[in-house]
C-alpha cells in the first residue's frame, strides 16, 4: 500500500474516531477536569496555529511542496503539537461523557495519530535534512517523555 493511501486511511480513521468520541451531542458533565483539558487543548491548538499558519501543513501526513519546517513556539517542545491539542480536546470529551467506549476510541485515536506521525516524519526527514536532528532533540507528543 502506498504512503499516500496509508495517509488517507489514517485521516479517515482519525475523523471517524473523533466523531465517535463527540457523538451524539448530548449533555455531558462539565467537570473541572473536562473543562481544564478542553482549555488546554484549545490553547495548544491556537498557539500552534500562530507558529504554523494554515497553508503550511496538510491534514494528510505528508509535507506540502511549498511548506517550510517550523521549530518555534510549541514545536520547541513537541514535534506534533496539533495532534496534542486534538488529543487533549478528545480527552476532555471522554471525561465529560464518562463512557468506557469513548475511552476506547481515545486509545484508538492515539494509535492512529502515532501512525500518522510515523508516516509524516518519513516525509519530513526526506524533505528537510535538519529534521533528523530536530527529532532527536524534541519529543513527539510529551516533552521529555514521548
Model confidence band, residue 107 (pLDDT cutoffs 50, 70, 90): very high
Q: For the chain, give the mean pLDDT.
A: 94
Task: Label residue 135 left, alpha or beta by phi (over 0 means left) and psi (-120 to 50 means alpha).
Answer: alpha
Backbone angles phi, psi at 78, to 5 degrees: -140, 150
Least confident of 8-12, 30-34, 84-88, 103-107: 30-34
How remote is the C-alpha of 52 from its chain's centroid?
14
Does the pLDDT at position 14 exceed 80? yes
pLDDT in tens, 36-48: 999 999 999 999 9
pLDDT above 90 as % of the chain: 81
Mean pLDDT throughout 19-39? 89
Distance CA 26, CA 69 (A): 40
Does the pLDDT at position 28 exceed 80? no
Model confidence band, residue 79 (pLDDT cutoffs 50, 70, 90): very high
Model confidence band, residue 51 (pLDDT cutoffs 50, 70, 90): very high
Distance CA 85, CA 66 (A): 24
Does the pLDDT at position 84 exceed 80? yes
Q: What angle do CA 8, 127, 75 make, to 5 degrees?
A: 80
Distances (CA, A) of 82 to 3, 30, 34, 71, 95: 21, 23, 19, 13, 20
Amino acid at each position: 500500500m502506498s504512503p499516500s493511501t496509508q495517509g488517507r486511511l489514517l485521516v479517515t480513521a482519525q475523523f471517524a474516531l473523533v466523531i465517535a468520541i463527540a457523538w451524539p451531542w448530548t449533555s455531558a458533565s462539565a467537570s473541572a477536569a473536562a473543562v481544564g483539558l478542553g482549555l488546554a487543548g484549545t490553547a495548544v491548538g491556537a498557539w500552534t496555529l500562530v507558529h504554523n499558519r494554515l497553508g503550511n501543513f496538510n491534514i494528510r501526513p505528508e509535507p506540502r511542496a511549498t511548506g517550510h519546517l517550523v521549530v518555534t513556539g510549541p514545536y520547541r517542545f513537541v514535534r506534533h503539537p496539533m495532534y496534542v491539542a486534538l488529543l487533549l480536546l478528545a480527552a476532555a470529551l471522554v471525561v465529560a461523557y464518562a463512557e468506557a467506549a469513548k475511552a476506547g476510541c481515545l486509545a484508538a485515536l492515539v494509535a492512529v495519530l502515532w501512525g500518522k506521525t510515523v508516516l509524516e516524519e518519513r516525509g519530513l526527514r526526506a524533505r528537510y535534512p535538519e529534521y533528523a536532528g530536530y527529532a532527536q532533540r524534541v519529543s513527539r507528543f510529551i516533552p521529555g517523555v514521548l
